[in-house]
Amino acid sequence: MSSEILACLKLIDVLAYDYLMLIANHLLVTRLWIIRPQKGTYGEIPQSKYCLAPSSYIIGRIFQIFRHCTRLGRQKEVHAFISFNPIPYGLIVMLAARIYRKDLHLVLLAQTGIVMSRDPLDSYYYLFLG
């Protein structure tokens, strides 16, 4: 079973690259849709496509992100939404996931660099060290 994952985030490029590479390299992920304000410059993530929301105003950016989430979320190949920022991106992703009844995964990043997350493809918990 193959699936596509939609990731919505605003992190510095190094952190975004590290966390998204873990997801993109999973055996069951065929494509990773990344919604960000700008394309990452740290490295190329395999099997990924970017949808950019470059507005300098937060209201405009929220509207663009919601539009991308709803446009991509209606595709039946997209099986899960993931967000690394609970507010405001996590709320936008939560709303889009509820509309299309897809899985939702919120990753909470701690200040110490330890992250507890539920893997979007498996049903167990594991620890990321950042």
Given the DSSP bridges, would you call strands 108-109 and 114-118 parallel, antiparallel or unpaired? antiparallel
Per-residue pLDDT tens digits for 30-61: 999 999 988 888 888 989 999 998 888 989 99
CATH of the domain at 49: 3.40.50.10770
Structural tokens at position 78: 């997209």
The boundaries of the domain holding residue 63 are 3-129
- pTM of the shown model: 0.78
DSSP H/E element including 95? helix 91-100
Strand spans (E) along the chain: 3-8, 29-36, 48-52, 78-83, 103-106, 108-109, 114-118, 125-129
Q: What's the rounded mean pLDDT across residues 101-109?
A: 85
pLDDT score of 127 more than 50: no
Number of domains comprising the chain:
1
CB 68 within 8 A of CB 53: yes
**Nearest residue to 100 via CA among 70, 130, 55:** 70
